[in-house]
Amino acid sequence: MIRFGFLASLLMMAASAVAADDLATCILCHGTNTNGNLGVRAPKLSGLEPWYLKRQLELFRSSARGAHPKDVSGGEMRTVALALQADSLDKIAATIATFKEKPPVVTVAGDPARGAKMYATCAACHGANGRGNQALHTPALAKRSDWYLVTQLNNFRDGLRGVETSDLYGGPMRTAAMTLPNAQAIADVVAHINTLR
Amino acid sequence: MSANDEMSLSRRRFLHLVGVIGGSTAAYQAALGLGALPTVALAQPPDIAPLPKGIRKSVLILGACIAGLVSAYELTRRGYDVQVLEASERVGGRVWTVRGGDVIDEVGHRQVCNFDREPHLYFNAGASRIPGEHLALLGYWRELNVELEPFVNLNRDAWVQDDALFGGKRLRNREYVNETRSFVAELGTKSIKPEMLDEQLTAADYKAVLEYLRQFGRLDINLKAARSKRTTSAGFAGPDAMKQLFNSRILSGMAYGESEDQQPVMLVPVGGMDKIVDAFMKKIGKYVQIGARVETLNLTEKGVRVVYRRKGREQESLADFCINSIPMQLLAGIDHNFPNEYAAGLTAVPRGKYFKLAFQAKERFWEREGIYGGISWTMQDISQMWYPSNGIHKQKGVILGAYTFAGAAGDKFAALSPDQRAALAKQQGEKLHPGYSNFVEHGVSVAWHRINHMLGCAAAWNESLRAQWFDRLQSPAGHHYLVGDQMSHLPSWQEGAVQSAFHAIADIDQRVREANT
């Protein structure tokens, strides 16, 4: 029993060392406390719901996300996700949720008033305050990297994301994104989301 | 209007014309020639004043790359307290020589190099050749006794291959260049007519132009392109040879080899580019800590405060000055308190996505084709193939099987696994050397924008970005100096890194002198 306990703690130490390496990889691109880095197009992860983060890592690992040849950044993330230890996903998601958040810099110029009207569609699932709703499997939108929201809305619209049937909640999001008529509408909606802080 | 005004006006007019005809690079070069712009390169390190007795100044250097090592070397000689933090587990930055057993720390695609362990079997994954005009860098090589050898950069016996040219058949560089010149020269002699002469061009000038074109294209006395006896490719004699040559885009890549920093023969240290790093480390290695990853960088009233993580432990370092070579694209993600007008520049300059792949060759098959060093060019993804200038006539050699600069090519290779990259490079290499894939093994690849602690090579400045950001980013933010080849007029060259370090230490010296008087 004692010997077993010793072995188990050794194994746990090894697992946490692996998770530490994996976390260092997250921070490499996503920045200190994973507060995001536009320089390498890595969005802010801090403050992200652990269940959402884990689900995205799993989607990347199963190639339901990031496998489209035009999704270069998604492809980079997929490579990293595949190299992670399968049993460290929970730990990564839980640890990132503890990181100290820094409000993201505003980079998107749009008309928040116009965006507020279109946001009604988003609010149905993501909430009027943009805080998301786990019961509806929707993540918070407030306090995300705004340029990343634009990229993902485009990816959904262009079929780079949300087209695989195994991405259960990406499909409805793609349908919703298609209702935004053009780049200006996307900028306006994101400008409104930027006011939800 | 004074004579001076008149002169400056005509000079401006001249520069305008040069700009129109030759592009703005030509205008910049011409302006340098006219003394209108300051030259930035210093062949010698700046003359830093030794610190007076009783005065201590600390400089925290981030990155044990060429810029960091030069800064540490110069400052410690003048009595400064120096600490160098390096995030990765090796020193040298993008001066990196990969040998058998070495790890390639690419995010998600860790590789181990399986080359035989012999002194001539290595791969310079980053910096790999130096022109004789990079005097400041060469000064250090001389001072630190780094043994040099010639690097064959241009070899007329190497191959040129484009699927759109003569059915994709490989051509000797000599054939390609000489025959193209002949066509261009013949075209020129036919296009320039005596009736085009005016007072600017005399009959004697006209004769001289024709004679120049005759020499340039090695035309016969009738001003016709004379096929060289050494030209073996039938394609050149074909009816639409000229059309195919002019429509091929292969020259767009090869023309790089004619650019200012390129020369037919360049220089490399014997045994690997990292010999210069070894030489610096012998002098200042005791100040360098590896595996120290910066998490926070704060400008303070009197200097800088840096928090870094090393061996799982957070540590703090306070210093009077900081010389920072962390690549801009990474620095942007580190917690900092830079003013917005400075921080915005860090994400304004796109990162480069250079890609290199090397094989160990079981036999030096290229030498049997009369190729000793140099570069073959192809329009395929691999773009270039470099033959080693070292280890001539040994059994094996390391061949560079792909080298690309373009972002799209870098993304394409990076998206593949290392095995897939090697398979693609083998397949494409077949067009340059039939049987190639049987001769090469142990492919290793470096996608610089996916390498841990780098995520890019080299800073992709253009003229408008330079006009908008270069001066701001080169100037200090408080007591913080951004350096590296990224902060130079020579991105991707070690000389640029050296010059950036010279700029920073000269400015620090100036401030310290002013404070002490």
Nearest chain B CA: its distance from A80 CA (Å) = 5
What's chain B's length in residues?
517
Cα separation, B16 vs B89, in Å, equals 50
In this complex, is the C-beta atom of B339 within 8 Å of any C-beta atom belonging to chain A? no
What's chain A's length in residues?
197
Residue B218's Cβ-count burial label (10 Å; 0-12, 13-18, 19+) is middle
Whole-number pLDDT of residue B223: 86
Nearest one of B374, B446, B151, B154 to B269, comparing CA atoms: B151
As a whole number, mean pLDDT of residues B180-184 equals: 90
Q: Which two tokens stand for residue B392?
A: 């001539």
Task: Tell me if B333 and A42 make a contact (CB, 8 A cut-off).
Answer: yes
Chain B residues in contact with A82 by the CB 8 A cut-off are 108
Task: Tell me if B455 and A72 make a contact (CB, 8 A cut-off).
Answer: no
Whole-number pLDDT of residue B40: 54
SS3 B279: helix
Whole-number pLDDT of residue B257: 78
Residue ranges, comma separated, of all CATH 3.50.50.60 domains in chain B are: 58-92+275-351+456-515
What residues does each domain of chain A span? 8-98, 112-193
When pLDDT is cut at 50, 70 and 90, the band that residue B21 belongs to is: very low
Task: Tell me if A29 and B107 make a contact (CB, 8 A cut-off).
Answer: yes
Phi/psi for B247 (5° steps) reads -85, -20
As a whole number, mean pLDDT of residues A115-142 equals: 96
Whole-number pLDDT of residue A17: 52
Nearest chain B CA: its distance from A192 CA (Å) = 23
In this complex, is the C-beta atom of B108 within 8 Å of any C-beta atom belonging to chain A? yes
When pLDDT is cut at 50, 70 and 90, the band that residue B198 belongs to is: low
CA nearest A66 in B: which residue? Answer: B415
Whole-number pLDDT of residue B6: 39
Whole-number pLDDT of residue A30: 98
B residues 458..497 contacting A (CB < 8 A) = none
Task: Tell me if A42 and B293 make a contact (CB, 8 A cut-off).
Answer: no
Instruction: Answer yes or no: is pLDDT of B356 > 80.
Output: yes
Instruction: Answer yes or no: is pLDDT of A114 > 90.
Output: yes
Of A39, A80, A83, the CB nearest to B329: A39
Residue B248 is which amino acid? S
CA nearest A103 in B: which residue? Answer: B335
B residues 258..297 contacting A (CB < 8 A) = 293, 295-296
Of A25, A30, A39, the CB nearest to B347: A39
Whole-number pLDDT of residue B517: 77
Nearest chain A CA: its distance from B352 CA (Å) = 11
- How far separated are the first and last CA of chain A, in Å rounded? 52
Instruction: Answer yes or no: is pLDDT of B369 > 50.
Output: yes
Q: Can you tell me which residue has the tokens 């650019």?
A: B259
When pLDDT is cut at 50, 70 and 90, the band that residue B18 belongs to is: very low
Instruction: Answer yes or no: is pLDDT of A184 > 90.
Output: yes
For residues A157 and B233, the model is more confident at A157
Which class does domain B171-248 fall in? mainly alpha
Task: Tell me if B332 and A24 make a contact (CB, 8 A cut-off).
Answer: no
Nearest chain B CA: its distance from A140 CA (Å) = 22
SS3 B294: strand
For residues B119 and A87, the model is more confident at B119
Whole-number pLDDT of residue A26: 95
Task: Tell me if A42 and B109 make a contact (CB, 8 A cut-off).
Answer: no
In this complex, is the C-beta atom of B247 within 8 Å of any C-beta atom belonging to chain A? no
Residue B362's Cβ-count burial label (10 Å; 0-12, 13-18, 19+) is middle
- How far separated are the first and last CA of chain B, in Å rounded? 45
Task: Tell me if B329 and A102 make a contact (CB, 8 A cut-off).
Answer: no
C-alpha dihedral (B265, B270, B271, B276), degrees to nearest 10:
-100
For chain A, give the percent of residues with pLDDT over 90.
Answer: 86
Cα separation, B485 vs B476, in Å, equals 16
Nearest chain A CA: its distance from B254 CA (Å) = 28
Chain A residues in contact with B296 by the CB 8 A cut-off are 32
Of B108, B334, B351, the CB nearest to A31: B334
Cα separation, A150 vs A182, in Å, equals 11
Nearest chain B CA: its distance from A119 CA (Å) = 29
Q: What is the pLDDT of residues A11-29, one digit of tens each?
A: 444 445 546 788 999 999 9
Cα separation, B134 vs B152, in Å, equals 17
Chain A interface, best mutation among B109, B336, B455, B465, by max A CB count within 10 A: B455
Residue ranges, comma separated, of all CATH 1.20.1440.240 domains in chain B are: 171-248
Task: Tell me if A36 and B333 make a contact (CB, 8 A cut-off).
Answer: yes
C-alpha count within 13 angstroms, C-beta hemisphere, residue B302: 6
Q: Is the dihedral of CA B377, B382, B386, B387 positive or negative?
A: negative
Cα separation, A19 vs A25, in Å, equals 10
For residues B375 and B256, the model is more confident at B375
When pLDDT is cut at 50, 70 and 90, the band that residue B507 belongs to is: very high
Chain A residues in contact with B333 by the CB 8 A cut-off are 29-32, 35-37, 39-40, 42
Whole-number pLDDT of residue A11: 45
Instruction: Answer yes or no: is pLDDT of A90 > 70.
Output: yes
Instruction: Answer yes or no: is pLDDT of B423 > 70.
Output: yes
Nearest chain A CA: its distance from B413 CA (Å) = 11
Q: What is the pLDDT of residues B258-311, one digit of tens each?
A: 788 899 999 999 999 999 999 999 999 999 999 999 999 999 999 999 999 999
Q: Which residues contact B120 (CB under 8 A, 6 or more apart)?
A: B388, B390, B391, B394, B397, B398
Q: Can you tell me which residue has the tokens 């894939």?
A: B437
Task: Tell me if A39 and B335 make a contact (CB, 8 A cut-off).
Answer: no
Which residues lie across from B299 on neighbouring strands? B304
Buried b (16+ CB within 10 A) or exposed e, A11-47: eeeeeeeebeebbebbbbbbbbbbbbbbbbbbbbbbb
Asked whether the domain spanning A112-193 has the same topology as the one spanning A8-98, the reply is yes
Whole-number pLDDT of residue B342: 97
Task: Tell me if A35 and B107 make a contact (CB, 8 A cut-off).
Answer: no
CA nearest B349 in A: which residue? Answer: A39
DSSP H helical ranges for chain A: 2-30, 50-61, 72-83, 89-98, 112-126, 146-158, 170-177, 183-193
As a whole number, mean pLDDT of residues B426-434 equals: 98
Nearest chain A CA: its distance from B318 CA (Å) = 19
Whole-number pLDDT of residue A82: 95
Instruction: Answer yes or no: is pLDDT of B484 > 80.
Output: yes
Which class does domain B97-157+264-273+353-450 fall in? alpha beta
DSSP per position, A45-90: -TT--HHHHHHHHHHHHTTSSS-STT-HHHHHHHHHHHHS-GGGHH
Assign a CATH topology to domain A112-193. Answer: Cytochrome Bc1 Complex; Chain D, domain 2 (1.10.760)
Which residues lie across from B361 on neighbouring strands? B397, B440
Cα separation, B189 vs B201, in Å, equals 15
Whole-number pLDDT of residue A46: 97
Q: Which two tokens stand for residue A99?
A: 């990181």
Task: Tell me if B333 and A25 make a contact (CB, 8 A cut-off).
Answer: no
Q: Which residues contact A7 (CB under 8 A, 6 or more apart)?
A: none
Please, what is the average pLDDT of chain B? 90
CB B124 within 8 Å of CB B96 = yes
Give how far Cα A58 sits from Cα of A149, B16, B340, Å.
Answer: 20, 58, 36
Architecture (CATH level 2) of domain A8-98: Orthogonal Bundle (1.10)
Q: What is the pLDDT of residues B303-324, one digit of tens each?
A: 999 999 999 999 999 999 999 9
Instruction: Answer yes or no: is pLDDT of A137 > 60.
Output: yes
Of B333, B351, B415, the CB nearest to A32: B333
Task: Tell me if A76 and B414 make a contact (CB, 8 A cut-off).
Answer: yes
Instruction: Answer yes or no: is pLDDT of B3 > 60.
Output: no
Task: Tell me if A39 and B328 make a contact (CB, 8 A cut-off).
Answer: yes
Q: What is the pLDDT of residues B86-100, one digit of tens each?
A: 999 999 999 999 999
CA nearest A76 in B: which residue? Answer: B415
Please, what is the average pLDDT of chain A? 91
Task: Tell me if A29 and B295 make a contact (CB, 8 A cut-off).
Answer: no
Report which DSSP code applies to A39.
G
Cα separation, B306 vs B315, in Å, equals 8
When pLDDT is cut at 50, 70 and 90, the band that residue B37 belongs to is: very low
Q: Can you tell me which residue has the tokens 């800590």?
A: B289
When pLDDT is cut at 50, 70 and 90, the band that residue B400 belongs to is: very high
Nearest one of B430, B510, B464, B496 to B24, comparing CA atoms: B464
CATH classification of B58-92+275-351+456-515 is 1.20.120.430, yes or no? no
CB B130 within 8 Å of CB B142 = no
Give how far Cα B33 sits from Cα of B11, B20, B43, B119, B259, Å.
Answer: 11, 17, 18, 44, 17
- Provide the whole-model pTM: 0.90
Phi/psi for B400 (5° steps) reads -85, 115
Whole-number pLDDT of residue B299: 98
CB B192 within 8 Å of CB B210 = yes
Whole-number pLDDT of residue B255: 83
Q: Can you tell me which residue has the tokens 């007029």?
A: B489
